[in-house]
Amino acid sequence: MNLLTIAYKSIRQRALASSLTAFSVALGVMLMVTVLVIHGVVDRMFSQTATGYDLIIGPKGSKLQLVLNAIYRVSQPIENLPYRFYRELKEDKRIEIALPLALGDTTQEGGFTIVGTIPEYFVTEYMPGRTFQGNGELIAKPFDAIIGSNVARTNGWDIGQTFRLIHGGNEEHVHDEEFTVVSVLRPTGTPNDKTVFVNLKGFYMVQGHDKPIEEAVRRVADFYNEDVDEEELARKVKKAAEDEAAHASNDGHHHQHDILEVQKEVTAILIRMKTRENSSVSIYTPGFQSEINKGFKAQAVNPIGEIKWLMDNIVGHVRTMLVVMTSLIIVVSGVSIFVSIYNSMSDRRREIAIMRALGASRQTVFSIIMSESTLLCVAGGVIGLVLGHGLVFLASPIVEAQSGLPLDPFAFEPMELVLLPMLIVLASLIGFIPGMTAYRTDVAETLAD
């Protein structure tokens, strides 16, 4: 009979106490595995999706908020920029692609984020070497829409489905205009999976998405620091009132509601700068970013830099704190194993003395106690690994439904490889003192008692 078999039989004699102590280790490992897997998924998502564009241009304000809103759709828009500003950027010779985004609304079913954009958005790489794949057409017509895979799965939508928008997330304000799904995107593992994209032209045609002409003219003039021509403004206000009256008399949902350019706004603009041949880095980016940030009109933000700051200074610290807390749980569990084994030593002194009398050496007795400690820790660790990934498996559909964050329950983090060796070291520390107690057992005195 080898040492592990003897240790296992000894553990079975104290099945309840042994099971509880091993389970406490399993809980600690389970929590740590869950933290590691979820943090790894979050880290990969935030680092990857931000790499598709060189710059994000938006109104002055929080840089991080701009990135979270434009790329990850998890924050409120800061403000809007004049459409004229987007058009001027698009004509800049240093810019390869300029993609406008208009946000603020959600779907009536599921509350998914609405993004008004142009067809070029879907033929542009959202990450290096990766472009969108869908089963339909691009948003060619004003009231066309493309939906992410998570939206399709949650709402049960497919090509031909029609839906309405909720203005600003206010459930009491549902727009009359209906959009039609023309394509469903394949899963990307990014926030695009939980997004509904509509044609920017159609977005502007929705009643209430155009600013009052007088307010719009003054906002644009203030943005460009220009004087307002009051006579021209009066003419535009009159024409807008006539158009509004004609619009109100039309009962159809897909009627045209053309507005002036001055009334159009964009929430953010995704920029990809031109590069030289055989180079992935643009020499124009630093200068262009500095040029935009110099004034008070807008800001140009490097998404990678902002997300790196978020991961290093906030998410990274939270992960470290959670790992430390779960490590403490494992250590406390180890102490409970130590107490269980140590307390059992007084009841096992006669058993140990008999083993010694039958020829077992001190080293053999010491090794049996160390084996018990190792078996309890390793068994708890293996169970914890299984429970940890099982918890992620159960939580993944809930987390994905609430946040759109895809969790792979079978994702493996390299740090998990360190857990079992750490548990073996912990087992050695736990079993040393009880093992030495068994090692020093006096055979004659114990048997005489």
Percent with pLDDT over 90 in the chain: 25
Looking at the fold, whether 136 and 7 belong to one and the same domain comes out as no
pLDDT of residue 238: 67
pLDDT tens digits along 77-122: 888 999 999 999 999 999 999 999 999 899 988 889 999 999 999 9
| In a shared domain, residues 184 and 299 | yes
Q: Which of 287, 305, 323 is the last residue of a domain?
A: 305
Indicate the number of domains in the chain. 2
> Same domain, yes or no, for 375 and 329?
yes
Pair 289, 413 in one domain: no
Q: Does 132 share its domain with 266?
A: yes
Cβ atoms < 10 Å from Cβ of 320: 12
Asked if residues 166 and 201 have their Cβ atoms less than 8 Å apart, the reply is: no
Q: Residue 290, exposed/middle/buried by CB under 10 A (0-12, 13-18, 19+)? A: exposed
Regarding whether 110 and 169 lie in a shared domain, the answer is yes
Strand pairing of 113-117 and 195-199? parallel
Q: Are residues 209 and 315 in the same domain?
A: no
357 and 438 assigned to the same domain: yes
Q: Check residue 32 and give its pLDDT.
A: 83
The amino acid present at 375, given as its one-letter code, is L
Query: How confident is the model at residue 306, as a pLDDT?
Result: 84
What pLDDT score was predicted for residue 422? 84
Enclosing domain of residue 325 = 3-46+309-448
pLDDT digits (tens, 9 = 90+) for 172-220: 778 888 999 999 999 887 889 889 999 999 999 888 787 778 888 888 8
In this structure, are 276 and 313 located in the same domain?
no
Domain boundary among 305, 332, 355: 305
pLDDT interval class at 253 (50, 70, 90): very low
- One domain, residues 228 and 372: no
What is the bridge-based pairing of β-strands 298-301 and 55-59? antiparallel
Residue 15 CB partners (closer than 8 Å, separation 6+): none
Of 259, 287, 305, which marks where a domain is finished?
305
Phi, psi of 60, deg, nearest 5: -60, 140
Residues 6+ apart with CB under 8 A from 409: 37, 389, 390, 392, 393, 396
Got the DSSP string for 80-143?
-EEHHHHHHHHT-TTEEEEEEEB---EETTTTPEEEEE-GGGGGS-SBTTB---BSS----STT
Instruction: State whether 314 and 268 are in the same domain.
Output: no
Say if residue 65 is in the same domain as residue 109: yes
Q: Who wins on pLDDT, 115 or 3?
A: 115
Given a cut of 70, whether residue 275 has pLDDT beyond it is yes
Distance separating alpha carbons of residues 189 and 406, to the nearest angstrom: 6
